[in-house]
C-alpha cells in the first residue's frame, strides 16, 4: 500500500511520533511563522484528528497541508524516526481525492498541462515573455521578473525560457568515438526549457568521459510537481510515459541533474505504479540504474582528472533537500568541486537548510518562500564567495532570485557546469601548449 493510494498506509508512521517537538529546531517554515501548524508535529496531529474522525478534510485543512516544503529536515532531526515526507504526501493525496487540486497549482502546475504551456511558450517565444516578464539585465544568467502579480508575487525572479529546448538541440543519440558506456539522460523540465546550459554541461562532461548519451525525445515531466501535491493520476501517467520512452531506447544507466528527477526515477515511479505489475517491474529495473550526475561521476564511472583546467572561483555549495536528505548525496558534489584546480570551497552555515523553493510551494506561499530564501541568501553572503554551486535547477532559480533581490554579485551554477568549465579550460591550455 503506497502513500499515494491511502491514508491508512501511514498509521504506523503517525504512531511513531511522540510529540517531542524536536522537528521545531529545523523546520524552515516554522522558523518563519512560529506557528505549530507549520511544523511536522502540528501537521501530524492534524492527520491524526482526520483519521480519528474528529475533523474532516476541508479546503482549509488542505491549505495547512500545503505548508511544507517537503525538505525532509524534520525526518533527519526526529528521534523517533518519523518519515514525515510519507505523511505529508499521503495527506496531500487524500486532500486531492476529497477536495481536488489547489487553484493556483491547478493553473500553473498541473503536471500534464505544464508541458503544453511551456511548449506553447517556446513557440510564441519572446511574445509571451515580453508580456509577462521583465528582463533583468545580468551578465551570466538569463532571468526576468514578473511584470505584474498573478498571485505569486513579483519578488520571484524567473529564468527566461531558452530560445530552443535542450532536447531539440541534440539528436536522440549523442555519439562518441569509443564509447565506454551508453547512458540515458533524463533532462527534466527546468533543464529542458530554462536552464539548457546545465543540460549542455551534462552532455559535455559525459562525452569528455567517452560516454554515449541517449536523450529520448519521448520523455516528459518527472511528475513530482504532481505527486507532491497529491495529483496521483497525472503523476502515474507521466511515470509510464517516461518509462516507455527510456525503455524504447535502452541504456546501461540513467543520469539526472535535478533532484526531483532523481527522486522520481529512484523512488516515486515504483511507488506510484505498485499496482501495475508490468510497469512496476520496469520502474524497479530503471530505479536500479538511475544516478544523480555527481553520484555517477564519483561512484559509477569515476570522472577523468587529467585535462581538468584551472577555474578561478570561490565556491560555496548549497545542498538541495531531495539530493542530500532524499538521496544521501552531499559528499559527491563537494568532491567534484574540490578536485577542480583553482576552485576553493567555503562552506556556508547550514548548507543543508531548505532554500524555500520546493516547486509549487513557492507559488502557493510566495511570501513565506521569499522569507526562507532571504535567510539562505544572508548565509551565502557571509561566505564572501563569488559562486554558489548546487545540484538542482530549482534551487538554482531560488538562490539566484534571492541573490538578485539582495543585490549581491553571486553566480549560481550547477556543479556540473563548473566541471564542464574546467574541462574546457583544460582544452584551451592544451591548444596553447601545442
Partner 1 sequence: MLAREVLQELIQVLGAENVLTEQEDLLTYAYDATAAMKHHKPDVVVSPLSTEQVAEVVKIAVRHNIPIYPRGSGTNLSGGTIPTKGGIVLSMLNLNKILEIDQDNLTATVQPGVIIQALNDEVLKLGLLYPPDPGTVTTATMGGSLSECSGGLRGLKYGVTKHYIMGLQIVLANGEVIRWGGKTVKNVTGYDLVALFTGAEGTLGIVTEIIVKLIPSPEARKSILAVFDDVDKAGKAIASIIRNKIIPATLEIMDNVTIQTVEHFVHAGLPLDAEAVLLIEVDGYKEVVEREAVLVEQILKDEQAVEVKIAKDDKERDLLWLARRSALPALAQKRPTTVLEDATVPRSKIPDMLKAIRRIADKHNLNIATFGHAGDGNLHPTILTDERDQDEMKRVHLAVDEIFQTAISLGGTLSGEHGIGIAKMKYLDWEFGEAGVAALRRIKEALDPNYLLNPGKIVRRD
Q: Report what 68 binds from partner 1, ligand SF4, none; CB cut-off 5-8 Å by kind.
A: ligand SF4
Q: Give the whole-angstrom CA distance, residue 138 versus residue 20.
A: 47
Of 1, 8, 11, 18, which one interacts with ligand SF4 (CB under 6 A)? 18
How near is the Cβ of 152 to partner 1 at its closest, in Å? 20
How near is the Cβ of 366 to partner 1 at its closest, in Å? 16
Q: Give the whole-angstrom CA distance, residue 14 versus residue 56.
A: 17
For position 357 contacting ligand SF4 by CB under 6 A, the verdict is no
Q: Residues 162, 168, 170, 173: is their CA dihedral positive or negative?
A: positive
Q: Give the whole-angstrom CA distance, residue 74 versus residue 52.
A: 24
Per CB under 6 A, which region of 17-25, 251-259, 272-280, 334-342 contacts ligand SF4?
Answer: 17-25
Please list, residue by residue across 345-355, b when 16 or more beta carbons sit within 10 angstroms of its beta carbon and e when fewer do.
beebeebbbbb
Q: Give the whole-angstrom CA distance, residue 379 versus residue 399.
A: 11
Q: Residues 37, 43, 47, 48: is their CA dihedral positive or negative?
A: negative
Q: Report what 183 binds from partner 1, ligand SF4, none; CB cut-off 5-8 Å by kind.
A: none
The widest CA-to-CA distance across the chain, in whole angstroms, is: 77
Pinpoint the alpha helices (H) of 53-169: 59-65, 73-77, 84-99, 103-109, 111-124, 126-132, 166-169
How near is the Cβ of 214 to ligand SF4 at its closest, in Å? 34
CA distances from 149 to 133, 156, 188, 347, 363 (A): 10, 10, 27, 35, 11
For position 27 contacting ligand SF4 by CB under 6 A, the verdict is yes
For position 28 contacting ligand SF4 by CB under 6 A, the verdict is yes
Angle among Cα 77, 78, 80 to the nearest 5 degrees reads 150
Q: Give the whole-angstrom CA distance, residue 170 versus residue 32.
A: 43
How near is the Cβ of 326 to ligand SF4 at its closest, in Å? 11
Q: Report what 125 binds from partner 1, ligand SF4, none; CB cut-off 5-8 Å by kind.
A: none
Of 15, 19, 135, 427, which one interacts with ligand SF4 (CB under 6 A)? 19
What secondary structure letter does DSSP report for 309? P
Q: Which residues bind partner 1 (CB under 8 A)?
A: 15-16, 18-22, 24-25, 34-37, 41-42, 45-46, 49, 54-55, 58, 60-61, 63-64, 79-81
Instruction: Sheet containing 133-136: give its strands across.
Output: 133-136, 143-146, 157-159
How near is the Cβ of 26 to partner 1 at its closest, in Å? 8
- Based on CB atoms, which residue is closest to ligand SF4, 22 or 339? 22
For position 395 contacting ligand SF4 by CB under 6 A, the verdict is no
Q: Report what 49 binds from partner 1, ligand SF4, none; CB cut-off 5-8 Å by kind.
A: partner 1
Q: Report what 150 binds from partner 1, ligand SF4, none; CB cut-off 5-8 Å by kind.
A: none
Per CB under 6 A, which region of 11-19, 124-132, 135-143, 303-311 contacts ligand SF4?
Answer: 11-19
C-alpha cell belonging to residue 244: 516507455
Q: Report what 40 binds from ligand SF4, partner 1, none; CB cut-off 5-8 Å by kind.
A: ligand SF4
How near is the Cβ of 358 to ligand SF4 at its closest, in Å? 8
Q: Footprint of ligand SF4 on residues 63-102 (CB under 6 A)?
A: 68-74, 78, 80, 82, 84
Q: Give the whole-angstrom CA distance, residue 118 versus residue 131.
A: 15
How near is the Cβ of 49 to partner 1 at its closest, in Å? 6
Q: Give the whole-angstrom CA distance, residue 376 versus residue 398.
A: 10
Of 4, 13, 32, 41, which one interacts with ligand SF4 (CB under 6 A)? 41
C-alpha cell belonging to residue 45: 496531529
Angle among Cα 104, 166, 221 to the nearest 5 degrees reads 40
What residues make contact with ligand SF4 under the rule CB under 6 A? 17-23, 26-29, 39-41, 44, 68-74, 78, 80, 82, 84
Amino acid at each position: 500500500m503506497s502513500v499515494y493510494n491511502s491514508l491508512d498506509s501511514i498509521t504506523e508512521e503517525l504512531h511513531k511520533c511522540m510529540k517531542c517537538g524536536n522537528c521545531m529546531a529545523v523546520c524552515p517554515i516554522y522558523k518563519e511563522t512560529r506557528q505549530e501548524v507549520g511544523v511536522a508535529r502540528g501537521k501530524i496531529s492534524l492527520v491524526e484528528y482526520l483519521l480519528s474522525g474528529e475533523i474532516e478534510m476541508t479546503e482549509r485543512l488542505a491549505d495547512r497541508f500545503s505548508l511544507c516544503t517537503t525538505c525532509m529536515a524534520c525526518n533527519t532531526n526526529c528521534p523517533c524516526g518519523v518519515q514525515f515526507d510519507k505523511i505529508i504526501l499521503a495527506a496531500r493525496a487524500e486532500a486531492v481525492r476529497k477536495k481536488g487540486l489547489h487553484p493556483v497549482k491547478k493553473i500553473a502546475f498541473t503536471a500534464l498541462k505544464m508541458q503544453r504551456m511551456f511548449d506553447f511558450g517556446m513557440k510564441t517565444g519572446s511574445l509571451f515573455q515580453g508580456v509577462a516578464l521583465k528582463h533583468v539585465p545580468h551578465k551570466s544568467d538569463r532571468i526576468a521578473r514578473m511584470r505584474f502579480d498573478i498571485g505569486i508575487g513579483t519578488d520571484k525572479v524567473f529564468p527566461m525560457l531558452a530560445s530552443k529546448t535542450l532536447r531539440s538541440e541534440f539528436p536522440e543519440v549523442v555519439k562518441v568515438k569509443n564509447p565506454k558506456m551508453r547512458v540515458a539522460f533524463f533532462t527534466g523540465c527546468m533543464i529542458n526549457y530554462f536552464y539548457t546550459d546545465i543540460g549542455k554541461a551534462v552532455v559535455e562532461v559525459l562525452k569528455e568521459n567517452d560516454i554515449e548519451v541517449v536523450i529520448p525525445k519521448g520523455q516528459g515531466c518527472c511528475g513530482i510537481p504532481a505527486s507532491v501535491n497529491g495529483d496521483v493520476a497525472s503523476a502515474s501517467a507521466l511515470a509510464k510515459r517516461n518509462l516507455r520512452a527510456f525503455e524504447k531506447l535502452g541504456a546501461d544507466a540513467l543520469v539526472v541533474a535535478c533532484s526531483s528527477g532523481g527522486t522520481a526515477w529512484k523512488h516515486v515511479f515504483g511507488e506510484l505504479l505498485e499496482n501495475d505489475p508490468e510497469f512496476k517491474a520496469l520502474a524497479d529495473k530503471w530505479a536500479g540504474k538511475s544516478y544523480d550526475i555527481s553520484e555517477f561521476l564519483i561512484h559509477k564511472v569515476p570522472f577523468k582528472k587529467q585535462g581538468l583546467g584551472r577555474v578561478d572561483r570561490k565556491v560555496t555549495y548549497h545542498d538541495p533537500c531531495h539530493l542530500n536528505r532524499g538521496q544521501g548525496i552531499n559528499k559527491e558534489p563537494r568532491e567534484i568541486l574540490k578536485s577542480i584546480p583553482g576552485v576553493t570551497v567555503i562552506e556556508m552555515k547550514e548548507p543543508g537548510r531548505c532554500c524555500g523553493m520546493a516547486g509549487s510551494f513557492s507559488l502557493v506561499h510566495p511570501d513565506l518562500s521569499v522569507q526562507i530564501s532571504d535567510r539562505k541568501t544572508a548565509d551565502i553572503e557571509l561566505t564572501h564567495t563569488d559562486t554558489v554551486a548546487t545540484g538542482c535547477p530549482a534551487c538554482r532559480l531560488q538562490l539566484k532570485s534571492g541573490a538578485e533581490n539582495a543585490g549581491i554579485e553571486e553566480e549560481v551554477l550547477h556543479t556540473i557546469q563548473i566541471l564542464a568549465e574546467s574541462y574546457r579550460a583544460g582544452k584551451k591550455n592544451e591548444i596553447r601548449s601545442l
